[in-house]
Structure 1
Amino acid sequence: MQQLKGKQKRYLRSQAHGMRPLFQVGKEGLSANWLAQIEDAIEKRELFKINILQNALVEDEEVVAFIEDNTAIQVVQKIGHVLVVYKRATKKENRSYSNEVAKL
C-alpha cells in the first residue's frame, strides 16, 4: 500500500467534505462482517465517511487501527468521530477519485 502525499490527502479531503457518513460504528462495535461490508463499498466508491457513534464501545483510534491493520484501506482524515477513508478501486470502471489522485 502506497502512502498518500499531502496534496493527494488535501484533494481527497476536499472531495469528501460534502459527503454524509455512509457507515457507522455503534454499540455492536467492530466485526469481520462490518469490515467486509466496508471493503465491498470502498471498491465501488473509493472514498467515503464512517461515523463513530457516541454509544460505540470502541475508541476512535481502535477503529482506525482495525481498518488499517486488516485491509488496504487508508484513513485520510479523522475529525471528531468521523473518519474519511480511501482505497484505489481494482476495477477501472470504478476509479473516479484515484485517477485524479494519481495526477497529483
Structure 2
Amino acid sequence: MFLVENALTGKQKRFLRSLGSTMDPVVQIGKAGVIDSVINSTQEALDARELIKVKVLQNSPQEPRDAIAELAEATGAELVQVIGRNGLLFKQNPEKSKIELP
C-alpha cells in the first residue's frame, strides 16, 4: 500500500496507537530541543522500526506537542499521537515494510 504524506486514516492511526501503547521511548528530546543529532537518531530509528515512541524531557525548552511535531516534519514522519510528554511517529519504509496497515 502506498502512503501519501499525511494520509493516515483514523483506522490506521488507531491500529498504530495500539501497537505503540506498549513501546518504550527510543528517542528523547532534551534541553537542546530538536537538534541535528536528535533528527538523525530519529531517522535511523524510523528506518529500522517504522513506528517509534518519542519522549520530551522536563528540561526541553519547547512544548511537547510542538517539539514532536517539529521532529515529525524534519524526518518526514507521520505524527500519530501525543499524550503528555510522549509521542508516536510513523514512517513506512518503502523497501522493507514491517508494519502492514489495515
Q: Does the alignment reach a TM-score above 0.5? A: yes
Task: Give the RMSD, CA atoms, in angstroms.
Answer: 1.3
Q: TM-score, normalised by structure 1?
A: 0.86
Distance change (3 Å), C-alpha of 1:20 and 1:68: closer
Q: TM-score, normalised by structure 2?
A: 0.87
Counterpart in 2 of 1:54? 58
Please list every run of 5 or more consecutive structure 2 residues that lacks an aligned counterpart in the other structure: none
Which one of 24, 27, 31 corresponds to residue 23 of structure 1? 27
Higher mean displacement: 23-32 or 43-52:
23-32
Distance in 2, Cα, partners of 1:91 & 1:30: 27
The sequence identity of aligned pairs, in percent, is 34
Question: Runs of at least 4 residues of structure 1 off by over 4 A?
Answer: none
- Please show how residues 88-103 of structure 1 align to structure 2 within 5 Å: 88-92=92-96, 95-97=97-99, 100-101=100-101
Does 2:40 correspond to 1:44? no
**More helix by percentage:** 1
Please list every run of 5 or more consecutive structure 1 residues that lacks an aligned counterpart in the other structure: none
Higher mean displacement: 66-75 or 37-46:
66-75
1:25-45 Cα shifts (integer Å, max 9, x gaps): 111211122101111110110
One-letter code aligned to 1:51? K
Task: Kindly tell me the number of residue pairs found equivalent between the two proteins.
Answer: 98
1:55-90 Cα shifts (integer Å, max 9, x gaps): 111112321331233231011000000001100013
